[in-house]
């Protein structure tokens, strides 16, 4: 009986511990606003939230979530900053190697040099 009670208590306590997050950042709310409103202020807020994720992620030593470098690169393309776009496409490739062929496709589609 004591053994069963001890196991039950240990299982309950083990359920209280949360695992650490794999990477830092959440920009979904600002992304939603960007898509919903589609105005310059919403785009600027999304861009700023991505920049915050990048800096805080670097400080915490965790990788940036998949796709955020690519989103930022696409924003840079809209602003005609092609060099920065290439930089962030390549950062996406380096951070998430499985996205390499897609990043190459996007750079080719937009006529950017790798």
Per-residue pLDDT of the chain (114 residues; tens, 9 = 90+): 777 877 777 777 666 766 665 556 667 888 888 889 889 999 999 999 999 999 988 888 888 889 999 999 999 999 999 999 999 999 999 999 999 999 999 999 999 986
> What are the extents of the domains in the chain?
25-109
Give, in order, the Cα–Cα distances in Å from 66 to each of 33, 40, 47, 54, 103: 20, 24, 16, 12, 12
Asked if residues 114 and 90 have their Cβ atoms less than 8 Å apart, the reply is yes
Q: 48-76: b or e for each residue (b if 16 or more CB lie within 10 Å)?
A: ebbeebbeebeeeeeebbeebbbbbbebb
Query: Would you say the pTM of this structure is higher than 0.95?
Result: no
Q: What pLDDT does residue 32 have?
A: 84
Residue 39: exposure state from Cβ atoms within 10 A (0-12, 13-18, ≥19): exposed
């Amino acid at each position: 009986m004591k053994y069963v009670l001890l196991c039950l208590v240990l299982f309950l306590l083990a359920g209280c511990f949360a695992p650490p997050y794999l990477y830092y950042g959440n920009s979904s709310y600002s992304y939603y606003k960007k898509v919903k409103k589609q105005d310059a202020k919403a785009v600027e807020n999304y861009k700023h939230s991505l920049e915050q994720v990048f800096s805080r992620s670097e400080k915490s030593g965790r990788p940036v979530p998949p796709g955020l470098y690519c989103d930022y690169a696409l924003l840079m393309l809209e602003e005609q900053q092609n060099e920065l776009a290439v930089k962030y496409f390549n950062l996406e490739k380096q951070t998430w190697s499985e996205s390499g062929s897609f990043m190459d496709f996007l750079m080719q589609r937009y006529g950017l040099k790798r």
